[in-house]
């Protein structure tokens, strides 16, 4: 007669597989004797392989769960449960860590990504790829402190911190209003000879814009021209927005005209920034003229643009 696991142990096992919830009898043998009395899911028998100890089964199920969650969002919670259980049971490995991180990325749970990195570090398995993925997730979640901590850990471990890693950190700082840190990281890249491309410049200019540092933003904007870097819609829009915050409406209009002369696309964000700049400068007629021309230019007008135009009229 086989002895059953304790209720606490059985809960830990069943929680490892979110598809096996009802009618499951877990017998002793550490996952080797899982039997299903009843299961309402058509895929239950296939999913019960997650309860087996074999690493390949566990990793395969995690990968399948990730792929389903990418295409069918209602599977995301199951995927998050599986990835979380890897952490709980101490089953994170170099082979499944990236899938777990990507699941947490889909679920926007940066704290769990950091747990994966910590688990890998305990056994010396974390690589710069794991760190870079986790930093990217922290960036999107505006977790600049966490991103910076991971970035500094990479340096202590002697891992390569390339253009992508630095740019993600700068972007994380930009989204959180940390313009000084963003600028310091940008300058550090130059000192270390790390390539600073258009995306890096855009992120740093945006950081300066959000921090009200329009002159610093302008210096970076001008530097791009000297280096032969193509200034994009994002570059110009950020610079025009910086002019708006500084009350430089005339310069904002010059930049807007320069975009058109150079064939750089002007989108809703660009128009919103230049209309706001005109409004701040008391140029309500110009603001309305810009608003009115948008449909003819094939640019969509949204609530932000309308609000900027209304504010211009109020100020005017």
Residues 115-149: tens digit of each pLDDT:
999 899 888 888 889 999 899 888 887 788 899 99
CB count within 10 Å of CB 55 equals 12
Task: Provide the pLDDT confidence category of residue 7 given band limits of 50, 70 and 90.
Answer: low
Angle CA 117–122–167, to nearest 5: 30
pTM: 0.76
Cα–Cα distance measured from residue 144 to residue 176, given in angstroms and rounded to the nearest whole number: 7
Q: Which residues face 36 on adjacent strands?
A: 24
- Mean confidence (pLDDT) of the chain: 84
Residues 161-185: tens digit of each pLDDT:
999 999 999 999 998 889 999 999 9
DSSP string, 89-147: TT---TTTHHHHHHHHHHTT-HHHHHHHHHHHHHTT---HHHHHHHHHHHHHTT-HHHH
Domain ranges across the chain: 1-53, 69-161, 248-316
Cα–Cα distance measured from residue 135 to residue 146, given in angstroms and rounded to the nearest whole number: 8
Residues 273-301: tens digit of each pLDDT:
999 999 999 999 999 999 999 999 999 99
């Amino acid at each position: 007669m086989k002895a059953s696991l304790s209720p606490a142990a059985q809960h830990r096992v069943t929680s490892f597989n979110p598809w096996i919830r009802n009618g499951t009898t877990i017998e002793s043998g550490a996952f080797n004797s899982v039997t299903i009395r009843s299961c309402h899911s058509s895929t239950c028998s296939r999913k019960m392989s997650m309860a087996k100890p074999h690493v390949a089964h566990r990793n395969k199920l995690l990968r399948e769960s990730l792929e389903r969650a990418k295409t069918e969002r209602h599977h995301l919670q199951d995927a998050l449960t599986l990835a979380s259980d890897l952490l709980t049971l101490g089953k994170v490995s170099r082979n499944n860590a990236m899938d777990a991180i990507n699941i947490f990325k889909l679920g926007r749970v940066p704290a769990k990504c950091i747990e994966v990195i910590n688990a890998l570090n305990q056994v010396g398995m974390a690589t710069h790829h794991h760190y870079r993925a986790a930093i990217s997730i922290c960036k999107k979640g505006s977790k600049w402190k966490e991103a910076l901590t991971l970035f500094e850990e990479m340096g202590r471990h002697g891992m390569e911190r390339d253009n992508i890693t630095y740019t993600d950190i700068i972007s994380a700082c930009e989204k959180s209003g940390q313009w000084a840190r963003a600028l310091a990281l940008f300058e550090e890249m130059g000192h270390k000879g790390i390539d600073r491309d258009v995306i890096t410049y855009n992120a740093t200019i945006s950081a300066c814009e959000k921090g009200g540092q329009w002159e610093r933003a302008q210096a970076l904007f001008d530097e791009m021209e000297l280096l032969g870097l193509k200034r994009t819609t994002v570059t110009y829009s950020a610079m025009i927005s910086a002019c708006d915050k500084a009350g430089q409406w005339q310069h904002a209009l010059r930049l807007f005209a320069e975009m058109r002369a150079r064939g750089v696309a002007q989108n809703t964000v660009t128009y919103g920034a230049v209309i706001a700049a005109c409004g701040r400068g008391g140029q309500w007629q110009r603001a309305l003229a810009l608003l009115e021309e948008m449909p003819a230019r094939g640019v969509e007008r949204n609530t932000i643009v309308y609000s900027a135009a209304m504010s211009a009229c109020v100020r005017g």
